[in-house]
Structure 1
Amino acid sequence: MLQFKRFSRLTYNLPVRDLPQLGISRSSNFAFCLFATLATIGANPLFAQDVESPDPHPLKTADTSSPRATLTSFLETFDEVHRRFYGEGRRFRSDATRRALSARATRCLDLRDVPESVRYNVGREAAVCLKEVLDRIELPPEDDWPDAEQVATEELTRWTIPDTEITIARVNEGPHEGEFLFTPATVERAVDFYTIVKDLPYQDKEMVTPYMIQFYLAEPGWMLPRPWIRALPSWARARWFGQAVWQWVALILTLVAALGLMLTIYVFGRRRAHVFRSNVMRYLITIAFPVAAMLVPLAAVYFIGEQIRVSGTVLLVVGFSLRLVFFFALIVVLLGAGNRIAALVIATPWIQPRGLDAQFVRLVSRVASIVAAIIVFLEGGQRFGIPLSTLLASAGVGGLAVALAAQDTLKNVFGSVMITLDKPYRVGERIVTKGYDGLVEEIGLRSTKIRLLNGHQASIPNEEMARSDIENIGRRPYIRRAATIEMPSFTPVAKINRALEIVRDALQDHEGMKEDFPPRVYLRDINPASIGILVIYWYHPPDYWEYLAFSEKLNLQLMQQFEAEHIPFAKRTLTVEMSDTGKQGVAQGESDEV
């Protein structure tokens, strides 16, 4: 924040003698100075040919092998900017070249201590301020600037321009290790240095680029025609709290338009989504419009900084706020997109909306969106200057608090994960668990809903379902029936044999039989009160109502044939024995349904 405060004083400290010709007052704010430098001025025929010609070395970078190389590259880059663009102004066709030269100039600065979110702006401002200082002070002869040979011979690690605090030092760590760059302290104090020398005249020497800051503050971007701004009345071009009046008006209008555009896109997207009958188009619309609304703050940042050319603290505050809105909107969009993408996948015909696969898709999408949101949070925090260790510690503390507060919910979520992976049941299957018998109606993140056979609905937490014994009736490949036909114990053997023949003939190639599961009929029980014939058969497929209809038809057929053959069924018996003491004992009789 110290750097922000110092840079915010830049546009308040322009030389008084330079202001009248530009319509700039002493209260001017700063911002985006280097890019202003690289992107100023209207159209000048004298420079048209130079501007039209492409840069033969667009990937050329600054030579930072020694203090002399760094300082020379720095001065030559600004000289090229002044030569190529001083008379052109900010035009779209030269935007790429200006940006390349901007990057080459800021490449000479050590910006490690500047937060990434404002590094671009602060670097350009510091570069322009340093260039203004170097143009106003007397530099030692170029031969006295340490070169690579002197650095190697004397093991030089830093060099300070005589009679100044402007220092170029070797970087000892990071991606620029071994390079000689203007130190972070020099970058931080660049505005202070400019404030001290702002009233000094420019030196009469090579590669001096006068009045670049002033032209930056007075010129709009390429989207706003320069003649329009110059045609405004003097009061509209007067500086007020660091900005021209027209800039304040354009800033307010841009912010209002950005907010209105975000709301319009969001509301319009929600309304248009209901017009489409197709679920796929509806979900695509609900994703596309929030994404478009999310990008509006970035467009506003570009327009305010590069076209309206708002500067100083105003730009830092507005840019910071809009980028913060963008990051929060991005997190919200990511969290919402997880649900939309899951719904989009589930809308496909091969996934059952209330099935386990749909639940798995929802779970994976939700986890993926949360992970993406966390990554954006960590990355965004770093860009705003918050150390990664602090972000991780905050996320850890917050995660622990959430885990303690919602441990039951988390248990159910993990239970749903286990159910999703193990798949003990699906929607529509009949299960028996914890005393409940019914059809699975829905599998949610928290619970499983079962429609009981009596019509009631039971909701069981997934944490309990994951550790319960579950009998899945819906997955049985067949329905097996085992019954005992009982006849009185005095039934003749001939009639018993006849009864076995009748039952076996009735089940021969019966309905729902598979070759691998032939029926079984045997004389099994011989009791004092009855004789039992064991009957076992399997019905395919496991359609319960079809099975009952077949069983009813079989029962009636057996009863008719037994009655025709005069084969009786055993009746329920009850034997009462009287003891000598008068107590009664009851012997249970046996019966079975056919």
Structure 2
Amino acid sequence: MIQIKEWAFGFQKKLFVNLFFMVWSSIIFSQNEKIDSLSFVSEEQMREEIDLSIPVLQTPNVSSPRETLFNFIENMNKSFNLLMEAHEENVKISGLYINDEVKPKAYLAGRYFDIASYSLDLSAYPRSLRKNLGYTTAIMLKEVLDRIDLPELEEVPGAYSLDSILNSNTKVSSYTIPNTEITITQIEEGDQEGKYLFSTETVSRVKEFYDRTKHLPYKSSNSVSEGFYSFYASTPGKLMPPRWSIYLPDWSKKEVLSQTIWQWLVLIFDILLSFFLVYLLYKYLFLKNNENISLKRTLFLIVIFVITIILGDVIERINLTGHILITLKVILDAVFWFVFALLSFNLIIAVSGYVVSSKHVGRIGIESTYTRAIFMIIAILVASSIIIFGLSELGIASVSIITGVGIGGLAIALAARSTLENLIASFTIFADKPYQVGDRVKIKDYNGTIEAIGIRSTQIRLLTGPVVSVPNEKMASIEIENIQKRPYLRREFDIKIKYESSRDIVEKCVEIIKDVLSIPPGLEADEFHPNVAINRPDYTPKVYFNKINDDSFNIYVNYWHFPPEHWEFMSHSESINFQIINQLNEANIEFAFPTNTVHLKDGRTKKESGSVKIKD
């Protein structure tokens, strides 16, 4: 019993060590720049170090089905042979990664592989998936061709076949390998027009063809690359695996659901680790407090953006294949472009906040409103462009996206007509600037101070206390009395004295009022007098005996008060009123009271006096 426990403990320990090594190695492999064997050596160095050459811009001859088929096989064989030589040499050298001595061969193997992949029509797949699908599809297709009977070279239509020489109108549009469904088709439009490539249907069914033929033996008559797919799918790295891959335990290389066990373990671990890191960051940033929420949101998006890139790189380097690769790549690419759009949007909005907070722009004025609006429009356009580009990378046609956006925009415009009217009106307000934040205005029944100017409405703090929001569409179409912009406060009123008053009394009344409104003579330049506010060179007080009423003589008074401070004006007006009353009383000049004449039945008349009225 004790021996069984010790064996179980030892097995668990070994299992844990193996798993830890695989996972940690995959993370290091995805992060360490040294792993990328082909990124540190230039093509010139490669060609100098090995007696093999390949033109830099060489593409396969795909001018006919014959050239496409046999050039594909030839380049795949060259790639496989060089790759196996490099791998065997790398295994014999110490270290965990690809040794510099074998990098030239690994590089040339990759070049031949890229040339072979050029023979595949991957146009039906999103651009973001073509490279990864090109790897797996090319290797699977080669495995299929290695297991079936291929026609002789002369039996496959070539660019200069007898038919084409005899009849120039003869054109081979496609060729299917005998006894198979593998078809080479001439591309009729696009960048690849006129070239013969393995058709999109063939590419989409390569996995099916491989599953149907993988149990068959390799044909000895063919030039085969034996075990190429198994080598690619069971090892990390692109084509050339790092040296540490030889330490993976044999049980981890068994295939489950089209992927090896070590691939599933690394994938699950990386996904769980990514979600765990995102959760920890979210908890740390948003659940503790809500300060600097914009900065935290941007930081959160940056971390998700980086995690998405790293996770996508890991998925590529562990060589996932089939539907699991397509599904994960599509999801990650969608998340990548969406987060990229959100991050760009937040960064532009952050810049707008910085601009608005500067001393040159008021934080709640019309300038700040439109600064934010302009940056918001830019942010929306940039984010929308990124999303549209991202969707096109995922295989959704840009034309259909733009058409959908246009139709959706039209529907939104019709549904949000009032909002658009307010938006357009807000630009009119911005251009004309009839008022600004802080201005005292009178609009119909509203009298108050402009508190905020938004895209949709203007908020007015009424003198009675509450805030009223008036749509900008109305604000742009009604008369606005901007009290704040007046240069002065004007006062005019009438003083009525008795009808029985003599001319001397009327003249004296006028002089008294003028004297009350004037500045005392001999006033020093630095001395202050309240009447300075109503005596300006172009705005002197006006006092006239202007009317003879039915029951009184009318004295008209007019003056302008500077500056236009309401309560200072009211205080000064009160002082003027008291002075006029006092001095007229001292001069025994009596105010006229409104009178009404009433005719009685007996023929008598009766006069009734009213109260004194001073018009303000």
- Distance, in Å, in 1 between the alignment partners of 2:204 and 2:241 is 34
| Aligned equivalent of 1:291, options 282, 292, 302 | 302
- Closer, same or farther: CA 57–552 of 1 in aligned 2, 3 Å: farther
Match of 1:533 among 555, 558, 567: 555
- Partners of 2:161 and 2:606 in 1: how far apart? 123
TM-score by length of 1: 0.75
1:110-164: CA deviation from partner (whole Å, max 9, x where unpaired): 2232244533333333222333344454353379662379879455343526525
1:230 corresponds to: 246
Question: Which is further off, 53-62 or 295-304?
Answer: 53-62
Matches within 5 A, 1:317-332: 317-332=327-342
The aligned counterpart of 1:576 is: 597
Q: Distance in 1 between matches of 2:304 and 2:403?
A: 31
Shift in Å at residue 300 of structure 1? 0.8
| CA distance in structure 2 between the aligned counterparts of 1:98 and 1:490, rounded to whole angstroms | 123
Equivalence for 1:247: 263
Contact 2:98 2:242 in 1 (8 A): no
CA–CA distance in 2 between the matches of 1:209 and 1:322? Answer: 33
Q: Residues 374 and 574 (structure 1 numbering): CA distance in 2 closer, same or farther, change over 3 Å?
A: same
1:431 CA drift (Å)? 1.6
Structure 1 residue 539 displacement after superposition: 3.0
Higher mean C-alpha displacement, 266-275 vs 353-362 = 266-275
Q: Does 1:351 align with 2:361?
A: yes
In the TM superposition, residue 271 of structure 1 has moved relative to its aligned partner by: 7.9
Q: CA deviation at 1:430?
A: 1.4
- Counterpart of 2:19 in structure 1 is none
| AA matched with 1:201 | Y
Q: 2:158 aligns with which of 132, 141, 146?
A: 146
Cα distance in 2, alignment partners of residues 223 and 182 from structure 1: 22
2:494 aligns with: 484
CA contact 1:283–1:343 (8 Å) conserved in 2? no
Q: Which amino acid aligns with 1:578?
A: H
The residue number in structure 2 matching 1:175 is: 191
Residue 456 of structure 1 is matched in structure 2 by 466
Contact 1:304 1:310 in 2 (8 A): yes
1:433 aligned to which of 419, 436, 443: 443
Aligned equivalent of 1:305: 316
| TM-aligned CA distance change 1:202 to 1:268, over 3 Å | farther
Please point out which of 111, 123, 133 is paired with 2:122: 111
Tell me whether 1:121 sits opposite 2:132 in the alignment.
yes
- Kindly tell me: are residues 197 and 224 of structure 1, through their superposed partners in 2, closer, same or farther at Cα, counting changes over 3 Å? closer
C-alpha separation in 2, matches of 1:184 and 1:237: 31
Q: Tell me the distance in 2 between the aligned counterparts of 1:96 and 1:501.
A: 109
AA aligned opposite 1:358: S
Q: 1:216 offset after TM fit, Å?
A: 0.5
Q: Deviations over 1:372-413 (max 9, x none)?
A: 444444444444444556656765676577667666656555
Structure 1: which 5+ runs fail to align? 1-38, 42-47, 277-281
Q: Is the 8 A contact 1:91 1:221 kept in 2?
A: no
The gaps in structure 2 that reach 5 residues or longer are: 1-35, 39-44, 88-96, 520-530
Residues 4-43 of structure 1: matches in 2 within 5 Å?
none
Higher-RCO chain (CA-CA 8 Å, sequence separation at least 6):
1
Where 2:171 maps in the other structure, the secondary structure is coil
The counterpart of 2:567, out of the listed 536, 545, 556, is 545
Which residue of the partner structure matches residue 232 of structure 2? 216
Question: What amino acid maps onto 2:446 in structure 1?
Answer: Y
Q: Return closer, same or farther for 1:76/1:581 CA change in 2, 3 Å cut-off.
A: farther
Offset of residue 254 of structure 1? 0.4
Distance in structure 2 (CA, Å) of the matches to 1:169 and 1:437: 78
Could you say which residue in structure 2 is the equivalent of 1:201?
218
- Three-state SS of the structure 2 residue aligned to 1:571 is coil
Aligned to 2:41: none
Rounded Cα–Cα distance in structure 2 between residues aligned with 1:552 and 1:409: 48
Secondary structure, counterpart of 2:469 in structure 1: strand
Equivalent position of 2:90 in the other structure: none
Is 1:61–1:104's contact at 8 Å kept on the other side of the alignment? Answer: yes
Q: 1:561 to 1:188 in 2, by over 3 A?
A: same
| 8 Å Cα contact 2:184-2:196 kept in structure 1 | yes
Contact (CA 8 Å) 2:79, 2:110: kept in 1 or not?
Answer: no
* Distance in 1 (alpha carbons) for counterparts of 2:608 and 2:428: 52
Q: How far did 1:455 drift?
A: 2.0
2:509 is equivalent to residue 493 of structure 1: no
Moved more, 406-415 or 377-386: 406-415
Alignment of 1:31-110 (within 5 A): 58-67=56-65, 70-71=68-69, 74-75=72-73, 77-79=75-77, 81-82=79-80, 84-88=82-86, 103-110=114-121
- Contact 1:450–1:459 (8 Å) recurs in 2: yes
Q: 1: distance between equivalents of 2:537 and 2:55? A: 83
Deviations 1:21-72 (A, max 9, x none): xxxxxxxxxxxxxxxxxx999xxxxxx9769679875454445455555456
| Structure of larger gyration radius | 2
RMSD, matched Cα: 4.4
Aligned residues: 542
